[in-house]
Chain A
Amino acid sequence: MTATQITAPPARQRRARKWPIILALLAPALILYVVFVIFPIGQAFRYSLFDWNGLQPLTDFVGTDNFSQAFEDPVFRGALTHNGIIVALTLLLQLPFALFLAVLLDQDLRGRSLMRLLFFAPYVLSEVVTAVVWRQIFRPGGLLDAGVSAATGEQFQGLWIADPDIVLYSVFFVVSWKYFGFHMILMLAGLQQIPDDLEEAAAIDGANWWQTFRHITVPLLGPTVRVSIFLAIIGSLQLFDLVWVMTGGGPVNASNTMATYLIDWAFRRFQFGYASAVSVIIFVLSLIVAIAYQRWALSRDLDGAITVRGA
């Protein structure tokens, strides 16, 4: 970089020049998004105020009745609790695990390309086959039971997804199994953006691995981790596909999430108005989380020009 002064155009000119560019660059995304996402969501908001079975015209206006009905339904409240448990477990268990694995894969272990490929494989599997395989593993006499029997020497038969008290945790395990790869590659990308020079410089200065990790890697990985946390929370609140095909929310509603609850009411009971109301509730909850999180965590990262720190 030269030492001469950087002369920028005068401010007003810059402002006038930038709006057309801003709009032009935003336009493709914005247009697609408003047509295919915002408009349907807006319609769903509208449906939530009606009692509607999807076939008749929208005539039965019930206002907020759908919402109060949801909160009065013990099954919905149970689903809400389940979502909360999944969020907590995800943040406490799944994310640290994904981070650990990303860092692991960043080391020069042999065979790590193959490992990276395999660790990501569950994410690529469709929910259908994930459910089929894990149901086979969890079934009485299945793979897991066989494994435990082999380990303990006794014939063991567990009710991994048949027992209402433990099914949620079994589901959480499978959800983690499937989705940790997502967070892992996010963090891998984040790790790759950390300049090697910094770490080498720290090593030159005598820092051991842990010190380097704590003082350089983790802070610089901060933005990525925060995005991961944000997506994990939102994803946990929206959790649907895997639960639906694995347990259907059962047995006896023990593994219901808000999303499986709403799909059940929409496509089995044909109560689209009510289901739309539940989806609005999910939306509002997620929105609260999103806003709070953005204020607190993400905004820190956005002005961050991470300059090269002197070695």
Chain B
Amino acid sequence: MVDVAIRGRGREPERSYRGRSPVARAMLYMVAFAVLGAIIIPVAYAVLGGFRDTAQLAASPVAFPDPWIFTNYLEVLGSGSFWEQVWNSTFIAVLTVALVLPAASLAAFVISRFSFRGREAVYTLFVLGLLFPVAVAILPLYIVIRELGLLNTTVGVALPQVAFQLPLSIVILRPFFASIPRELEEAAIIDGAGSLRFYWSVLLPLSRPVLATIAVLTVVTSWNAFLLPLVVLTDSAGWTLPIGVTNYSTQYTTDTARVLAYTTLAMIPALLFYAVAERQIVRGLVAKGIKG
């Protein structure tokens, strides 16, 4: 059976090419640290900023919290609306991913491994969605959502998000799917499997890294989306985290320290998801080596 040929590796694959000199390795570490510094410092700034108040931030941009102010984080964590928004954001993100993965992978499967008339036209149609600035489409999109009766629903946010994620997902998936060797497919046919079975039992498992990548990109995009949820979710009980952050601004002023605390906390679930999914991206499976 074809399934037997697919084995998972129990550990992370390593690429330790023999002959790597210690000097080279040291230099790699230095570069890595430099990049890490460039990343950590701004992120740390955001995290630490939440422990100050806005006046501190204004008076001395480069300083540790003095005094350490815990109310920003505590009040955000203690506010019911924050957790409500976490739930809403999570629900919408999960729903979006759950729909994007099947829809995009099926479409990419067809486009990459079947030949039919109009194939390139369909692919180009999907690519077109990448080329158009979304924000201007928001007005007619709003009317569509309204006409479908989906205003103020999570589905009303998720479905358009799915639709807008399709182009990117298909563009990424297509070359990956296409690179699965034909021999695997033919082996499946010999064994009596139809296309769908091939898709489900062979293609998808082999594509775990790239599917996980799509999932991460979709989750992050959905997590940070602002404009679409803003105009669809009119009831504040349904608000997502990016909309919730506007509560710390008024017409005349913004509580920047509170915003930093809030957004730091809001970032954590998305990062956690990436941490989990990243193992899928990196672990991979034995690729095309067909045993036996």
Contact = CB atoms under 8 A, between A and B. Distances in A.
A and B interact physically: yes
Contacts of B122: 26, 30
A6 B182 CA distance: 13
Contacts of B112: 302
Contacts of A32: 99, 103, 159, 162-163, 166
A197 B103 CA distance: 33
Given A120-B278, A266-B135, A305-B182, A109 B140 contact: no
Contacts of B31: 100, 104
Contact of B61 (A1, A139, A186): A139
A93 interface: no
Contacts of A43: 137, 139-140
B136 interface: yes
Given A22-B110, A38-B125, A193 B284 contact: yes
A175 to B, nearest CB: 13
Given A125-B267, A132-B256, A262 B136 contact: yes
A37 B127 CA distance: 11
A223 B15 contact: no
Given A26-B122, A139-B61, A125 B131 contact: no
A40 B62 CA distance: 46
B45 A137 contact: yes
Contacts of A227: 171-172, 175
Contacts of B125: 33, 38
Contact of B288 (A107, A108, A266, A306): A306
Nearest to B107: A29
Nearest to A112: B32
A109 B32 contact: yes
A308 to B, nearest CB: 5
Given A32-B166, A266-B136, A129 B260 contact: yes
A223 B181 contact: no
Interface stretch (B70-78, B80-88, B208-216): B208-216
Contact of A30 (B28, B107, B186): B107
Interface residues of A, number: 110
Interface string B1-38: 00000000000011111111000010011011001101
Contact of A186 (B13, B213, B223): B213
A188 B282 contact: yes
B263 A129 contact: yes
A115 B38 CA distance: 12
A283 B290 CA distance: 44
Nearest to B57: A136
A114 to B, nearest CB: 9
B141 interface: yes
A94 to B, nearest CB: 13
B51 interface: no
A119 B42 contact: no
A283 B129 CA distance: 9
A171 interface: no
Interface in B150-192: 159-160, 162-164, 166-168, 170-172, 174-176, 178-183, 186-187, 189-190
B13 A192 contact: yes
Nearest to B63: A146
A196 B220 CA distance: 30
Given A37-B164, A308-B288, A106 B15 contact: yes
Given A133-B46, A143-B45, A308-B181, A108 B14 contact: yes
B99 to A, nearest CB: 8
A35 B77 CA distance: 39
A192 B160 contact: no
Contacts of A101: 35
A305 B135 CA distance: 38
Contacts of A108: 14-16
Interface in A94-123: 100-101, 104, 106-109, 113, 115-123
A88 interface: no
Interface stretch (A64-72, A154-162, A274-282): A274-282
Contact of B17 (A189, A203, A272): A203
Contacts of B144: 35-36, 39-40
A107 B16 contact: yes
B287 interface: yes
A231 B216 CA distance: 16
Contact of B224 (A36, A127, A282): A127
Shortest 5 CB-CB contacts between residues of A and residues of B: A43-B140, A36-B163, A286-B131, A129-B263, A29-B107
